[in-house]
Amino acid sequence: MDIAISPTRPDADTLVLAMPKGTPDRLPVAASATLVAGAAAARFTGEVGTTFESFADEGGKVLRIVLLGTGTGNDADLERAGGALTARLLTSGATHAAVEFVGGASGAGAARLALGALLRGWRIDTYRTRQPEKAKPTLTTVTIVSAEAGAAWERHAAVAAGVALTRELVSEPANIIYPESFVERCQHLAELGVKISVLDRPAMEALGMGALLGVAQGSARDARLLALEWDGTDGAVETPLVLVGKGVTFDTGGISIKPAAGMEDMKWDMGGAGAVAGAIKALAGRKAKAHVVGICGLVENMPDGNAQRPGDIVTSMSGQTIEVINTDAEGRLVLCDALTWAQKNYKPDTVVDLATLTGAILVSLGDQYAGLFSNDDGLSDDLTAAGKTAGEPLWRFPLSDAYNKLIDSPIADMKNIGGRYAGSITAAQFIKRFIDDGVKWAHLDIAGMVWSDKPGATFDKGATGYGVRLLDQFVADKFER
């Protein structure tokens, strides 16, 4: 589905009248009495995301008319309204919808509605060969009738493209997206000016990445470390913000194997790496004046005869040793080496990692918030504010020495899990041990947010693309020149 911006209404088969909360008598004076009476009879009052649909004869052509409620008319409501419009029309038979704003709308507001419409229209039909005709998308274009939305839309379009990349990576099955093919899917970012670097297994072995490679050793798919560098400052900012994503392209749990029921969902255990790749695409697409590096640690966790065993001890790139108590606590093993490599190579002041790390975070927060852990109050506040603005909320959890002691090992520097309780916190405490002194760090546990079993305001069932808009907003707020 495409978004177009036009100062005048095009020849479309559907006319959408977007209107704030009120009564149908706010419709243009040219609206038919039947439309006004019908909207009143259906109790349409412009509540955000509500619709009323009718048809009219316009110059001998039957025109579908949709009244779309935009609620208070603020940006968040306009975005939700755009999503509701696409959800209503995507498979309705309509092909081209023109959106006009009753009472007018700012260019920024009109663009925000367009963003919601585009995000809600994303879906993956690649493998559907017997889809009923009525289930196939028909809506190809939404035109926003506005003379002022163009500039704002350029930025939103770039961010939407980043979200689409993340959703694509998260949605694809593990026989399609694995470490090497994940890297290939990101190669097009070079066309946007992104510098791409890749480490293969021999390179990581030479660097001593025993933790990351220990996770990968049971798979026929070799691990990769992917670095995506966007410098929109033309070298003026030497020290980049570093984003690190967990990229377990499929997680069986290894020898500590997961139950069979629901294991197919573990194709999205690379959601952190997917969010990092999508964020870099968004920043490069809108030419953000910031220097940002995205690191994706990419592995597959499988249980073959060479797989890592519970009780094994591995040596991380940092030199710290880890007793592997549970091979299904693998994400932190991937992140620790990726973080060490990132800090040694880029010397960042600030690092943010994202990972679908623990089931415990779902117990705590469900699918409403991602967990936030940080060694810096200011960074925590900045990320929380960015998440609120972007509509991708965070909730901060504590860190302390009391939790830290739970991962001490009697025979190594640490073990990779704590006890039964506070699983998300002890995982964060593990990662914190690999953060260099003086580096501001935040860990986002996004396990409850990257996938949804039901549609949301701006996504269908499946991959949500969570993290891209949060990171883009964070960069815009704190790192753009």
Amino acid identity, position 95:
T
Q: Among 469, 457, 471, which Cα is nearest to 71's?
A: 457
Length reported for the chain = 481
Concerning whether 258 is annotated as a catalytic residue, the answer is yes
120, 155, 167, 332: the catalytic one is 332
258, 287, 289, 478: which one is catalytic?
A: 258
- Report d(CA 145, CA 148) in Å as an integer: 9
Half-sphere exposure of 280 (CA within 13 A, CB side): 34
**In this structure, what token pair is assigned to residue 163?**
């979200």
The rounded distance, in Å, linking the Cα atoms of 305 and 390 is: 45
Give 354's strand partners: 245, 444
Contacts of 178 (CB under 8 A, 6+ apart): 221, 249, 250, 298, 300
Determine the Cα–Cα distance for residues 464 and 454; give it in Å rounded to an integer.
10
DSSP string covering 278-337, please?
Answer: HHHHHHHHTT-SSEEEEEEEEEEE--STTS--TT-EEE-TTS-EEE-S-TT--HHHHHHH
Measured N-to-C along each axis, helices 468-478 and 271-285 cross at an angle, to the nearest 10 degrees, of 50
In terms of phi and psi (left: phi > 0; alpha: psi -120 to 50; beta: otherwise), the region of 47 is beta
Q: Which residues are catalytic?
A: 258, 332
